[in-house]
Amino acid sequence: MSNYHSPEPGSYGSPKRLVRRTDDKMIAGVCSGVAAYTGLDTTLVRILLVAAVVFGFGSGILLYLVGWLLMPQA
């Protein structure tokens, strides 16, 4: 028998998950989830997304839609 106990979810050593957050969302929670995963401020991630939409000829919209489809909801 092993004396090893797996850590509790959310404790040190548990893997981070990229999920859409429901508590701090404006549309689908993609920017909020990316911000929580990377440790950035949610507002900064949203500004970067708008910049990608404006200066990337709409690529930010495609990135957001892909995130919406592929990221599971928290």
> Which residue ranges make up each domain of the chain?
30-70
Digit-coded pLDDT (tens) for 10-26: 556 678 899 999 888 88
**Average of per-residue pLDDT across 24-47:** 93
User: DSSP letter string over 11-42?
Assistant: STTPPP---B-SSS-SSSSHHHHHHHHHT--H
**Average of per-residue pLDDT across 52-66:** 91
Please tell me the pTM assigned to this model. Answer: 0.74
Q: What pLDDT shows up at residue 12?
A: 65
Rg (Cα) of the chain, in Å, rounded? Answer: 16
**Average of per-residue pLDDT across 33-53:** 94
